[in-house]
Amino acid sequence: MEATTRGRTVLVVDDLANARKILGERLTQVGFDPSYAEDGLVALYAVERHLPDLVVTGRKLPRLDGIGFLRRLREISDVPVVMVATPASVADCEEAMRAGANRYLDYGRDLDRVASVACDLVEGWSADPGLVSNRSVTARGVRLRAKRALRRQLQDLLVECRGNIAEMARRMGKDRSTIRYHLRRLGMLDESNPVRVETAMDQRPARMPSSALSRGAG
């Protein structure tokens, strides 16, 4: 199995650090190169920036749960997904499969099977040349995905932080001038137009006046 998966990337998503560590170790043992995300939104941004060969995700995640993450992921990619949860009821399994999971495993009962299931999924997925996600990715495509990921991240933070630039900068690990620059560049900040924040349910251009954001920045 390791020969098949050597160098393949996997994104491990779970809000529990110990669970991420255990899953990552199991997958590393069979040749995967893991990266990690602690919630559904971070995972979605990671996938949009760099498409992995496999995603292994928990169900109960903060901000965007496993089902929500799956649904949004399936809008942009058919990458194989294993959902690992506990407890794993039949109803939960059916919901996950409808949302786009390829396999659904019980963390307590099926932990030893995660690696073999992952290998089988990656081998089958990579062998099918007709899958959309296996097409070659252009530099322009990568830039567009990164731009969409940044825009979505800013949209979510605008709502979560109520327009507070200082708090947005803190969460993203950037300074306030950088956040303002990206908001203007993406058409989300207009010096003259009326206040409007784009939410996940509103696909029209998001704009907020500079004066309102300045008040939030302190």
In the structure encoding, which two tokens stand for residue 71, read together? 């649904």
CA distance 191 to 189: 7
2-134 has which fold?
Answer: Rossmann fold (3.40.50)
Q: What is the pLDDT of residue 32?
A: 94
Q: What is the pLDDT of residue 128?
A: 35
Q: What is the pLDDT of residue 218?
A: 41
Q: What is the mean pLDDT of each run of 10 residues along the chain (218 residues)?
A: 70 95 94 94 90 93 92 88 85 87 89 91 57 42 65 82 87 84 77 41 44 46
Measuring CA to CA, which residue among 54, 31, 27 is closest to residue 113? 27
Residues 6+ apart with CB under 8 A from 161: 167, 168, 171, 216
CA distance 21 to 194: 47
pTM to 2 decimals?
Answer: 0.58
Where does 88-196 have alpha helices with state H? 90-99, 107-110, 114-126, 139-160, 165-172, 176-185
In the structure encoding, which two tokens stand for residue 103, read together? 């396999």
Q: What is the pLDDT of residue 4?
A: 58
CA distance 167 to 174: 10
